[in-house]
Amino acid sequence: MQIIVVGLDHHTSPVEVRERLAFRPSQLPPAFEQLRGIRGGLIQEAAILSTCNRVEVYAVAADARAAQCAIVDFLHEFHHLEPHSVADALFAYTGPRAVEHLFSTACGLNSLVVGEPQIQTQVRAAAEAAATSKALGPALHALFRQAVEVGKRARTETSISRHAASVSHAGVELARRHIGTLADARVLLVGSGKMSELSAKNLLDNGARSITLVNRTVENAQLLADRWGGQALPFDLLPTALRETDVVLSSTSAPHTVIHAEHVREALADRPGRPLLLIDLAVPRDVDADVALVDGAHVYDIDDLDQVVSANVLRRRDEVGAVEAIVAEEMTRFLAWLSARAVVPTLNRLRAQADSIGRDELAKALRRLPGLDERDREVVELMVSGIVNKLLHQPTVRLKHEAAQGDAQAYTEALQFLFGLDGSVHGA
């Protein structure tokens, strides 16, 4: 039994290739059905990890090489592509390399932005989708479960995800640095596009409780406000909203500035002693340059945030070695479990054979001793059971030990041959 992964990601292919192989959620059930039907059950277990930056098919099969080729064919056939048209973009890993790849991916080491936390949720969702389609067997279930735990360890024990590495994250981090805690801060989002949505989520994740949204189309702002539990206001109330605000994050698509010095000056005049932090995420800028000259106003634009992001990406990369050490440790644990699991069928057959022989010999002995009372019969039965258990103890312990060291195959084959568990010897 081998674990295999075949796929592609942003390292091996551009987005126009990745999107051709991407799986929508509705496509996963038929995809798993097709995978299970390949060559009469060649693929025993399967899971698909499909995100904007990667498409990876994980599988368990006895014949790794045949399974890899079959998955490559499956990807082309399922997505109606010319045979081998994207084969050059695909990678294929088997055994320990496949395990290491998933663990590293779950930690964010293979992400476009190193350490990004979303991939951990995506790994968990991939396992759940496979389980729903009954494609996830014991090996992949254990692999994905441990991958999620490896990701948690990396984020808990290192700083791989602690420094903002996107503009929206950096804006929120900057706000938190300025005012200490977001729990009591009143936050104003200007604009209701994707950047505002990401900012709203990051703000809430960092403790913000009061979010107000201002947008030219108030219905769009209301949709976002309903989603995140905030308040929506029409755009003409922006100057009024500034008076009640501690932090402004602005990301409209306006071709000109929308927050002017007079707005900020009037807002601050009504609240002496309370500064106003304005974070401009828009290009072109939303906040007029003169705002920075207003006493009590602190303005940061996209270039300031890019500098924060660049510095933080370098800080995250400094953590890669520590995360790789966690991956190596967890990979050793998983491979030991997988190897031990591989010898279980042989040990079960050995146990079944020994128990059968013990029962047969016990029955013969009891027929020769018809006068035994119940207590004596129990003594004989316990003796036979004890002999079987003691004879099996050492081979069981030692084979499991060798499996944990990765050296069980030769011993397993020898045990199967010597005891006739491979079918070469019949009878007892």
**In this structure, are residues 250 and 216 in contact, taking their beta carbons and an 8 Å threshold?**
no
Q: Cα-Cα-Cα-Cα dihedral of 84, 88, 89, 94, to 10°? A: 90
**In this structure, are residues 228 and 213 in contact, taking their beta carbons and an 8 Å threshold?**
no
- Give phi and psi for 45, each to the nearest 5: -140, 155
**In this structure, are residues 193 and 223 in contact, taking their beta carbons and an 8 Å threshold?**
no
CA–centroid distance for 49 within its chain: 9
User: CA–CA separation, 342 vs 344, rounded Å?
Assistant: 6
Nearest to 93 by CA among 4, 10, 2: 4
Which H or E run contains 384? helix 374-404
∠ at Cα 324 (318, 326), nearest 5°? 115
Q: Which residue has the tokens 């964010």?
A: 108
**In this structure, are residues 101 and 5 in contact, taking their beta carbons and an 8 Å threshold?**
yes
* Coil vs helix vs strand at 406: coil
User: CA–CA separation, 392 vs 353, rounded Å?
Assistant: 11
Q: Which residue has the tokens 């108030």?
A: 218
DSSP 8-state class, residue 369: -
Catalytic residues: 52
